[in-house]
Each structure stands twice: as structure tokens, then as C-alpha cells.
Structure 1
Amino acid sequence: MRPTVRSRRLGSRLGHYRQRSGLSGTELAARIGIHQATWSKIETGKAKPSPRVLDRIVAELAIPADAVAQLDELRRKAEEPGWWQDYGDILSEAVQLLIELEADASWIRTYEGHLVPGLLQTRDYAERVITAAAPHIRVSDVDRYLELRMRRQKRLAEGLRLTAFLGEAAVHQQVGGPDTLRDQLRHITRVTEEHDVTVRVVPFTADAHAALGDSFVIIQWPDESDPQAVYVDGVTSWTVHERDGVIRSYLHAIASVQSQALSPRDSLDLIRHVIKELP
């Protein structure tokens, strides 16, 4: 079984309850009647427990009743195909994992120094970004990439909370020309009014901060005991971080960015000013 975000979340939460109980993986496996190697795969998301095994785990670890239903839902959905798999022939592993991370997220925080984040891009803006990054892409594939990006944005209408920090360069860079940028900036102002979206601009006059030269996405799931994940994408490589120490570093980075960013109101005022100044 290929680990999925949901199977890893399930394994991580079960591992959390095991550690809280003071049992080792070997001790718990013996008590619930499975091999230690099987338990190791469950904790790492490479296997999912059967309903019977999950019942034994719940009983042995005294997992609270209000958490059991959530664990069972993760177990059932661990191998469900996501809608994004319809685009599997054009998706890189990196993008597929990002969408999978977004699928159940309750709050996403992102920092982009030079571009508007994908969840906020208009179709025209996104088309220019995609074709600039991959100039030899087939026209038919461009249309599918755009369809995919617009579909991802439906999460905003489903209650996803988004906090996006943008470098001021992203507000001025005329991606696609002034008309495309104008429409893009107007779209940002509309989205902040219609959904749980906060946009904050880091102005050119800001001091150095911990995310300079970087861009990343911090994903949080509804249950506070769920681990956060950080997605970092570059021109030639991508990484998903789930270790506590690395996540703390990115939480520090986003806090550093926040300390230098304009307030949400001042950020929108700046965006509206740029709209008026565009030719």
C-alpha cells in the first residue's frame, strides 16, 4: 500500500496514543495479536488496520470515544481515490501530494515572495504562470492544468481557511500584462470578502525575515492532535516535512513574515492602490 496523507495521519495518531500509553510498538503488537512489523507499517501509513484490529487498538490504548469515529473515518478513506487522480497522467508526484494534503485541511498558511499562490490565481494569471514554467507543454495539457487549479480552489468555498502572505513583488509583477494583473488583484479583494481568506503583503520597505528567498505552505488539519505538514516547492525539487523540529522552523519563519507584513486592511489598500496605478 502506498502511504497516503490519510493513512499517515491515521498511523501518526495511533502512534501518539501508543506513546501516551507508555507501550512500545512490540508490546502493543503482542497485546492486539499482530506482528510487530505489521504495527510498524500501520504507524508509518504503509498499512491500515482492519476494523477488528482497530477495535483492539482502541480498547488496549483506551482511546476516547469521541476520537474513535474520526480514526475509523481515516481508516475507511485511506485508500479512496481522490478526484485529482483523474489528472494523474499530467500531475507530478509533488503536485499530487500537495493536493492530497489540501483535501482535508482546515487551515493553510502560505508564503510566496514573487507570485500569487495557486489557490488565489485567476485562470488567465495561472495560464501565464504555467506556460512560462513549461514552455513546451501541449495546449491540451495546459487546459487540464488550468481546470485542475480552478478545481483546487473550490476548497475555499467549502470552508477552508487560507492565510496568504505575499511579497510586494507579487502585487506589482505584471504576469500576463497589466490587464491580467488588474483582474488578478481584483480577484484577491473579492475572495477575501467572500471566503475565510486573509491576504497580507510584505512591503518592499520591510526588514529581513526568516523566509527570504523561500516559499512554502503550512497545512493544518481539523483535529489539533494531527501533525502539521510543510510543503516546500522549488524549481528543481520539492519536499514535504512532517517532523516536529522542521515544522517548528517553518512556524518560526511564518511568524517572522507576519511580523513584517502589513495588516490585512493595509494590504488590501495597497492592492487597490496598485490596481488604480496600472495602465
Structure 2
Amino acid sequence: MATGSTLARRALGRQLKRIRERHNISQSAAGRVIGVSQQTIGRMEDGQPTKVSDLYINTLCDAYQTSGEERGMLLGLALEVRTAQKSEGGWWRAYADEIRPGVNHYMGLEEAARKLAIWKVTIVPGVLQTPEYRRAMVWMERPEMPSEQVEKLVEVTMRRQERLAEPDFAVDAILSEMVLRDQVGGRGVISAQLQHLAEVGLRENVSVRVVPYDAPTHLGSRVGSFVLLEFPKLPATGLIEPPVIYVEEYAGDLYLERDTEVCRYRDAFAEISRVALDQDSTREIILKIAEEHAA
């Protein structure tokens, strides 16, 4: 699996920030060393797309008085960024006119992730949606959107699901029973969607479980829907980027990366998992509700 440039940029930025702060050098001072603005240093350290040349890295290493080992690591990460940028197309960028602002960042993270742990209070996760369900969601959210644009958004969702065929990519999805009961697109659409969930849940790398209405009290309603993304080792350096919590909101998206924040959500996912049905029982309830919708 190609990890893409997103992870390499994040790893490089994280290491540059760590070394700079260790030597008590400000971002503005670091910018003056290589002749760029404080904002550019900030973008580099935040893992945002910006020029990262070996000249920049070597000059910063001189200013930071880094060890040979650290210099080699940073140069390796910079090479990984450039190599990944040449080899990847970032396929979702072709749909930039249709997808909402900020989605590019999530798409890069999802494409690079090795595992998604998903808790959904409402709405089937995009990576598990049928075309008809996704189409109904788009029409509900943006009824004024032209049909051509709607179909492109459906294409994006289907392209995302190609990763389910990769054995080293895993999805652990826990859904509230509300997700199964909400008749998105009408009874026929949701019935077919639930049958798809039952089928995709049989894959070895996909787990779909349900928290029924009568489950014991748990944190799921309190924390709301979220995705925990975990990442593989970077090929060249062997570094592993820390996990990210993604919270999708109607008015904007939230990314949480601090250890304390990630731990709280990881613990919440474990608590929700404790009250979720097992996969066999989940398949039974999904198919039962699908039949109810189809009746």
C-alpha cells in the first residue's frame, strides 16, 4: 500500500518542529535562516503542501545543530515527500469542484491509513455506502446540486471503497441502531444498503457491529460520531505517524491529534465496543431490519 505524501509531510513537519523547539528557535528565526516567512515554516511544520528542498533541510539542520542521524532522517523524509508526490495522483483532487472545502485533507489521511475505527450515531459511513444511499444523502444535503455533480460525488464514494479490497487495510465500524432505522432515500434504498452492510461485514478485513437501542448505558451518545485513523510505517524511514481523530460536523470538520485527545476517543471506542453486538448477532439484526424496510 502506498502511504502517499500526506503522512510523509506530517512526519517531516513534526520532526522539524520538535528539533526547532528543542533549541528554542522561533519560527520567524527559522524562516530567516532559509529566506522564507514565518508562515511558510508553520506550513512545513503542520505538514501542509509547500516546497521542501534538501537545501532547506540542510540549512535548517546547520542552524539547529542536529546530529548526523537526525539530518539523515529529515533528508529521508523530504525525499519520501517528493517521491510520493511524483507517484501519486491524489485522485480525489479531480473532484475538487464537487467536494466541500477541507475534504482534501481527510481524503489524504484516509488513503494513507491502515485502519479506520468508526463510530456512527447516524448515517452509514461513506466507505460502506451503496451508490443509491450516497446519492440520496447528497440530494438531501444539497437538493439544488445538478445531477452531473451529484454523480461525481457518488463516484468519489465508490473510489474510496476500492481500498476495502486491500488486505492490509481494515475497517472496524460500530453503528447505532438508529443508522439502520433511518430511512435515507426511502425503504427500498435503506433495505438494499443494509443488505450491503451484511455482505461487506463478511470480509476478513471489515467488521460491522451494531449497538442496539436496548444496550446498557454507554459513551456513544455523549461523544457523537467520529473516526479514529491509524497509519502504517513510512517506507523509507520506518516512522509511524500518530493516530488522528476525525470528527465530521455539519458546519466544519475537526481533527484531534494530541495524545490526551486521542486516548479519550480510543477509550470511548473501547467502551462502545463493549456494549455492541458481536458480528453474527449484528448480521442477524441488520438482515431483520432490512426485511422490515422491504415489507
Common fold: TM-score over 0.5: yes
Aligned to 2:218: 209
Give the Cα–Cα distance (whole angstroms) in 2 for the partners of residues 115 and 256 of structure 1.
Answer: 20
TM-score, normalization by structure 2: 0.78
The answer to whether the Cα contact below 8 Å between 1:109 and 1:162 also exists between their aligned partners in 2 is yes
Q: Does 1:221 align with 2:231?
A: yes
Alignment of 1:44-59 (within 5 A): 44-46=46-48, 47-51=50-54, 54=57
Give the Cα–Cα distance (whole angstroms) in 2 for the partners of residues 88 and 170 of structure 1.
Answer: 28
Aligned to 1:270: 285
1:192 to 194, 201, 206: 201
Give the Cα–Cα distance (whole angstroms) in 2 for the partners of residues 88 and 155 of structure 1.
Answer: 20
Q: Summarize deviations over 1:234-264 as a string: whole Å, max 9, x none.
A: 2222212222222222212212211221122
Higher mean alpha-carbon deviation, 206-215 vs 129-138, is at 206-215
Aligned to 2:106: 98
The answer to whether the Cα contact below 8 Å between 1:5 and 1:101 also exists between their aligned partners in 2 is yes
Give the Cα–Cα distance (whole angstroms) in 1 for the partners of residues 229 and 74 of structure 2.
Answer: 21
Amino acid at match of 2:184: V
Question: Aligned pair count?
Answer: 272
Q: Does 1:242 align with 2:257?
A: yes
The answer to whether the Cα contact below 8 Å between 1:13 and 1:226 also exists between their aligned partners in 2 is no
Alignment of 1:4-83 (within 5 A): 6-15=8-17, 18=19, 23-24=22-23, 26=25, 42-46=44-48, 47-51=50-54, 54=57, 60=67, 62-63=69-70, 72-77=79-84, 81-83=89-91
Structure 1 residues 14 and 265: alpha-carbon distance in aligned structure 2, compared to 1, 3 A threshold? farther
The answer to whether the Cα contact below 8 Å between 2:245 and 2:256 also exists between their aligned partners in 1 is yes
Alignment of 1:172-183 (within 5 A): 172-183=181-192
Give the Cα–Cα distance (whole angstroms) in 2 for the partners of residues 92 and 5 of structure 1.
Answer: 22
State percent identity of aligned pairs: 29
Tell me the CA shift for residue 205 of structure 1: 0.9
Q: Which runs of 5+ in 2 are unaligned?
A: 234-238
Amino acid at match of 1:95: V
Give the Cα–Cα distance (whole angstroms) in 2 for the partners of residues 41 and 250 of structure 1.
Answer: 27
Structure 1 residues 191 and 70: alpha-carbon distance in aligned structure 2, compared to 1, 3 A threshold? farther
Aligned to 2:272: 257
Q: Which runs of 5+ in 1 are unaligned?
A: none
Superposed CA RMSD in Å reads 3.3
Secondary structure, aligned partner of 2:191:
helix
Aligned to 2:135: 127
Amino acid at match of 1:263: D
Tell me the CA shift for residue 74 of structure 1: 3.2
Aligned to 1:170: 179
